[in-house]
């Protein structure tokens, strides 16, 4: 039996792609090696933070990381091993951390971040879904005087729709658990947050009820090609033929390797700690502890901390020392309170070296579509990218015919599409 569209991977980008394609009248099958209850898309912080937040590869990032390492507060851990791909990734990351790219990236973040916020709102309104979504801004909290001063210089103008530098009493109101060691905070009002687990489960339920076929606990291990098409994908026990295939496998690159391509992205492990805390100390909105790379997100009934960026490992084990380090760093700047009913989690960001996701059609097999490399901002951009992919597939466009692919996909670096068509390293 030949299917219409087969999506491999039911993380946020897989589910969002399924939604827009199904809405456009296509028959969608979604295959996942698990049961879609605990991927990276479940345990993350749930920030929709495309505004007023620097990309990961920004000028000064290396110096900042070294400074944090010296203070014992660095979120970054590099597992020492000789890995040619990782070295290439690191070199590209450093090369990309420049002013020119920063400016471009910030503009693109705002464009696709706003599209995403609008789409989440639309989905909730039109489909009656509940994402625990709050458009209440993101508080950027500073624990170092010099970074706070630097930020204040950058925001030395009035724009009350965009940001508010909080006074001491406003800080107490927004983040009542902050200790007196916090130097200051700026509320960036355009950002939002949601509960990623709720988004995933709501989307899965909606898609199941609306005719999307789910094939769960089925790992796709191989792809068959003709001269210019993908014919089928297969697991150990079954083969699936389709008109179009979408590769949405998160940090896992097994299938890209079967296509004999290596995507320039690396798994970057992170952790979350979800717990209950005293009501009177809960933050009013999501908070990014800027100098610690710790995010605190209030949710219905609990609060979630996320942090850490480990490169060079794909071991999903929850390492106690990393959890303890997040708690210790967090406690240095907050009033004492007891975390109750703690749930610990780890997951992998599919991280590209320039904060650009990898999406678009394969240059040789045009019924193979990539939806990869969403990095540390997958919740922030997935709906917008999925909508672009729907347009590409439904209107049978080439990458070059879609401005959004050309502008935002990491497969294009602003040069000739032919030259850079798929910034994949052979």
Interface contacts to ligand FAD, rule CB under 6 A: 8-14, 31-34, 36, 39-41, 44-47, 219-220, 248-250, 252, 254-255, 270-272, 295, 306, 347, 349-350, 374-380
- CB nearer ligand FAD, residue 11 or residue 184: 11
- CB nearer ligand FAD, residue 92 or residue 234: 234
Q: Where are the beta strands (DSSP E) in 37-189?
A: 47-48, 76-78, 138-142, 163-165, 184-188
- Contact, 205 vs 215, CB < 8 A? no
CB-neighbour burial class of residue 291 (10 A; exposed 0-12, middle 13-18, buried 19+): buried
Nearest of 140, 145, 120, 144 to residue 130 by alpha carbon: 120
From the CB of residue 314, how many other CB atoms can be counted at a distance below 10 Å?
Answer: 12
The minimum distance between CB 335 and ligand FAD, in angstroms, equals 24
The minimum distance between CB 160 and ligand FAD, in angstroms, equals 25
- CB nearer ligand FAD, residue 170 or residue 214: 214
Please spell the DSSP secondary structure of 341-360, one letter per residue: EEEEEEEEEEE-TTS--EEE
Distance between CA atoms of 136 and 320, rounded to whole angstroms?
A: 33
- CB nearer ligand FAD, residue 148 or residue 348: 348
- Contact, 109 vs 50, CB < 8 A? yes
The minimum distance between CB 169 and ligand FAD, in angstroms, equals 28
Residue with tokens 């089925």: 218
- CB nearer ligand FAD, residue 151 or residue 204: 204
Distance between CA atoms of 381 and 59, rounded to whole angstroms?
A: 23
Distance between CA atoms of 165 and 159, rounded to whole angstroms?
A: 10
The minimum distance between CB 14 and ligand FAD, in angstroms, equals 5
The minimum distance between CB 274 and ligand FAD, in angstroms, equals 11
The minimum distance between CB 42 and ligand FAD, in angstroms, equals 7
Distance between CA atoms of 296 and 307, rounded to whole angstroms?
A: 9
At 336, is the secondary structure helix, strand, or coil? coil
- CB nearer ligand FAD, residue 138 or residue 423: 138
Distance between CA atoms of 97 and 54, rounded to whole angstroms?
A: 11
Cβ burial 188-208 (10 Å sphere, 16+ → b, else e): bbbbbbbbbbbbbebbbebbe
- CB nearer ligand FAD, residue 44 or residue 399: 44
> Which residues are within 8 A (CB) of 342 and not within 5 positions of it... i.e. 6 or more apart?
273, 274, 275
The minimum distance between CB 41 and ligand FAD, in angstroms, equals 3
- CB nearer ligand FAD, residue 175 or residue 263: 263
Q: How far does CA 194 lie from the centroid of its chain?
A: 13
Distance between CA atoms of 243 and 228, rounded to whole angstroms?
A: 12
The minimum distance between CB 159 and ligand FAD, in angstroms, equals 24
- CB nearer ligand FAD, residue 165 or residue 201: 201
- CB nearer ligand FAD, residue 97 or residue 295: 295
The minimum distance between CB 149 and ligand FAD, in angstroms, equals 26
Checking DSSP bridges between strand 47-48 and strand 222-225, what pairing results, if any?
A: unpaired
- CB nearer ligand FAD, residue 149 or residue 264: 264
The minimum distance between CB 45 and ligand FAD, in angstroms, equals 3
The minimum distance between CB 331 and ligand FAD, in angstroms, equals 19
Contacts by residues 18-22 (CB-CB < 8 Å, ≥ 24 positions apart):
18/207, 18/212, 19/123, 19/203, 19/206, 19/207, 19/386, 20/386, 20/387, 20/389, 20/390, 21/389, 21/390, 21/393, 21/394, 22/207, 22/210, 22/211, 22/212
């Amino acid at each position: 039996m030949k299917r219409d569209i087969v999506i491999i991977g039911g993380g946020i980008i897989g589910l969002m792609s399924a939604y827009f394609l199904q809405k456009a009248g296509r028959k969608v099958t979604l295959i996942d090696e698990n049961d879609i209850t605990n991927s990276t898309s479940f345990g993350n912080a749930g920030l929709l933070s495309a505004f007023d937040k620097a990309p990961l590869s920004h000028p000064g990032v290396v110096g900042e990381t070294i400074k944090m390492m010296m203070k014992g507060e660095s979120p970054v851990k590099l597992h020492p091993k000789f890995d040619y791909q990782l070295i290439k990734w690191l070199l590209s990351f450093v090369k990309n951390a420049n002013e020119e790219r920063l400016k471009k990236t910030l503009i693109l973040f705002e464009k696709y971040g706003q599209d995403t916020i609008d789409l989440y709102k639309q989905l909730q309104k039109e489909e009656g879904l509940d994402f625990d979504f709050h458009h209440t801004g993101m508080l950027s909290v500073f624990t170092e005087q010099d970074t706070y001063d630097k930020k204040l210089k950058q925001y030395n103008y009035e724009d009350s729709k965009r940001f508010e530098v909080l006074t001491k009493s406003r800080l107490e109101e927004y983040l009542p658990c902050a200790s007196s060691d916090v130097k200051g905070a700026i509320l960036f009002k355009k950002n939002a947050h949601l509960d990623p687990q709720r988004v995933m489960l709501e989307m899965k339920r909606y898609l199941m009820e609306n005719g999307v076929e789910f094939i769960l606990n089925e790992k796709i291990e191989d792809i068959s090609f003709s001269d210019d098409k993908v014919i089928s994908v297969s697991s150990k026990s079954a083969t699936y033929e389709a008109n179009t295939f979408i590769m949405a496998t998160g940090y896992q690159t097994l299938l890209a390797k079967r296509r004999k391509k290596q995507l320039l992205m690396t798994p970057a492990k992170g952790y979350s700690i979800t717990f209950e805390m005293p009501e009177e100390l809960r933050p009013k909105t999501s908070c990014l502890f800027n100098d610690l790379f710790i995010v605190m997100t209030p949710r219905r009934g609990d609060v979630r901390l996320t942090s850490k960026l480990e490169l060079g490992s794909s071991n999903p084990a929850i390492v106690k020392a990393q959890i303890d380090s997040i708690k210790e760093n967090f406690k240095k700047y907050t009033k004492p309170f007891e975390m109750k009913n703690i749930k610990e989690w780890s997951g992998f960001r599919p991280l590209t070296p320039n904060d650009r996701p990898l999406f678009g059609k394969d240059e040789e097999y045009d019924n193979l579509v990539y939806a990869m490399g969403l990095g540390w901002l997958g919740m922030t951009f997935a709906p917008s990218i999925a909508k672009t992919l729907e347009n590409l597939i439904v209107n049978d466009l080439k990458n070059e015919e879609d401005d959004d692919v050309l502008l935002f996909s990491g497969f294009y670096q602003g040069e000739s599409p032919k030259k850079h068509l798929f910034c994949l390293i052979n």
